[in-house]
Amino acid sequence: MYQDKYVFAQLMSLINRHEFSKCVDRYEGNYRVRSFTCWHQFLSMSFGQLTNRESLRDLTTCLNAHQSKLYHMGLSNGVKRSTLAEANESRDWRIYADFAQVLISQARKLHFDDTTGIELDNVVYALDASTIELCLDVFWWAKFRKHKAAVKLHTLLDVKCEIPCFIHITEGLVHDVNVLDVLEFEAGAFYVMDRGYTDWERLYKLHQSGAFFVIRAKKNVKIQRIYSHPVDKSTGLKCDQTIRFSGAKTAKLYPEKLRRVKYYDEVHQVNYVYLTNHFEAPALQIAILYLNRWKVELFFKWVKQHLRIKRFWGESPNAVKTQIWIAVCTFVLMAIWRQKLKSLQSLNEILQIASVSVFDKTPVNQLFMKIESKNPEGGIHNQLNIFDL
């Protein structure tokens, strides 16, 4: 199947071109385009993500240095920097945002049978935001501080498969909690958030949609205890209470009862207090749910280290969003490959291998196979020990 195909072409062969074309047609991405189509734009930008290119000039120079191989990679002609820059500026970023959702849906199905430490059948999402600082003189539209610009990635991560299901890109000034106005809540799902999302009017709308939330309580919240449930204190639980708000304004914004779970982290010697609208799950599971919120923090750290989203290859909002969404597509595509091949390599290792192998013709199922080298028992070791006296 993959004989005599470049690794890059093998990786891209997993993409459903029909679904990609539907996303392009939805926003007329190829309207009046002669040769450099949205598919060519996607391939070029994905190549830049996989090979860690620093700029559009760096990207096009690398591609054009392998002119004879471009046809077999899906790029029939050389790529001009001006052509790629114009495509990033003018073609609707929503093409790649919609296609990312196609890949995300495919990836989540592959992780359907994965197990986590959460003993609940509900879908669990972790919600958080991360800021990418920019130069104010260049990205003047991305308002953040007096002398700095920034964009903010509001991300909803599926805890089970550790894949982002929703990303909302805004200016850095937009507060995290505003994303609750954009999200469409899934009935029966858990949304795990930190204290920055404390807005009881918005959280009450989430409750009315049939979804559940777990959020850390602020220290100054005024509550009235209605009932205390028994807990096993040897697990770190301190209390499990049914409460309601006693503050006049808060009680009006959220008139229903809530559940308050207090947990002591013995490792860090910190007490955590969680509030949730779910009353049936064991109290310890509520604490475990919040612990899984850190997966979205790890996701932000990972993508900033391994994908090109901290230095942008265009200055307009459309170019920035296009680059971010194609980076997400690349991340999810590699996650799909890892799952389909049942590879023991980490996603970081797979990306590192792919970055130096795009022009090889090794089958990907061999390329991403983890081989552990071991010294044979009783072998002769000629390595000198410099610590022997």
Of the listed ranges 133-142, 162-171, 374-383, the least confidently predicted one is 374-383
Q: Cα–Cα distance between 343 and 350 in angstroms, integer? A: 9
Give the residue-averaged pLDDT of 70-90. 89
Task: Please check the confidence at residue 12 and state whether its pLDDT lies above 50.
Answer: yes
- Which pLDDT belongs to residue 178? 95
The Cα-based distances of 326 to 42, 88, 332, 333, 360 in angstroms read 7, 11, 10, 10, 23
pLDDT in tens, 361-371: 988 888 887 65
Task: Please check the confidence at residue 207 and state whether its pLDDT lies above 50.
Answer: yes
Percentage of the chain surpassing pLDDT 90?
A: 67
* Direct distance between the N- and C-terminal alpha carbons of the chain, in angstroms, rounded to an integer: 57
Give the residue-averaged pLDDT of 82-107. 95
Other C-beta atoms closer than 10 Å to the C-beta of 114 total 11
Q: Cα–Cα distance between 23 and 177 in angstroms, integer? A: 29
- Which pLDDT belongs to residue 76? 73
Of the listed ranges 65-69, 75-79, 135-139, 305-309, the least confidently predicted one is 75-79
- Which pLDDT belongs to residue 201? 96
- Which pLDDT belongs to residue 114? 62
Per the structure block, which two tokens stand in for 235?
């697990």
Give the residue-averaged pLDDT of 160-181. 92
Task: Please check the confidence at residue 373 and state whether its pLDDT lies above 70.
Answer: no
Of the listed ranges 89-93, 231-235, 261-265, 371-375, the least confidently predicted one is 371-375
This prediction has a pTM of 0.87
- Which pLDDT belongs to residue 310? 84
- Which pLDDT belongs to residue 187? 95
Give the residue-averaged pLDDT of 250-256. 95
Instruction: Name the residue with higher pLDDT: 287 or 119.
Output: 287
Q: Cα–Cα distance between 274 and 156 in angstroms, integer? A: 19
Per CATH, which fold does 195-292 belong to?
Ribosomal Protein S8; Chain: A, domain 1 (3.30.1370)
HSE, CB side, 13 Å, CA atoms: give it for residue 276: 28
Using 50, 70 and 90 to split pLDDT, how confident is the model at 73? confident
HSE, CB side, 13 Å, CA atoms: give it for residue 292: 26
Residue ranges per domain, the chain?
7-95+315-367, 195-292
The label of the residue with tokens 């899934």 reads 186
Task: Please check the confidence at residue 170 and state whether its pLDDT lies above 90.
Answer: yes
The label of the residue with tokens 């918005």 reads 202
Instruction: Name the residue with higher pLDDT: 215 or 344.
Output: 215
Using 50, 70 and 90 to split pLDDT, how confident is the model at 125? very high
pLDDT in tens, 105-115: 999 888 766 66
Q: Cα–Cα distance between 356 and 154 in angstroms, integer? A: 31
- Which pLDDT belongs to residue 169? 94
- Which pLDDT belongs to residue 194? 94
Of the listed ranges 83-97, 179-193, 237-251, 300-314, the least confidently predicted one is 300-314
- Which pLDDT belongs to residue 305? 87
Q: Cα–Cα distance between 213 and 293 in angstroms, integer? A: 12
- Which pLDDT belongs to residue 378? 47
Per the structure block, which two tokens stand in for 199?
């807005």
Highest mean pLDDT among 65-74, 107-116, 206-215, 225-234: 206-215
Per the structure block, which two tokens stand in for 118?
């959460």
pLDDT in tens, 28-59: 999 988 889 999 999 999 999 999 999 999 99
- Provide the residue count of the chain: 389
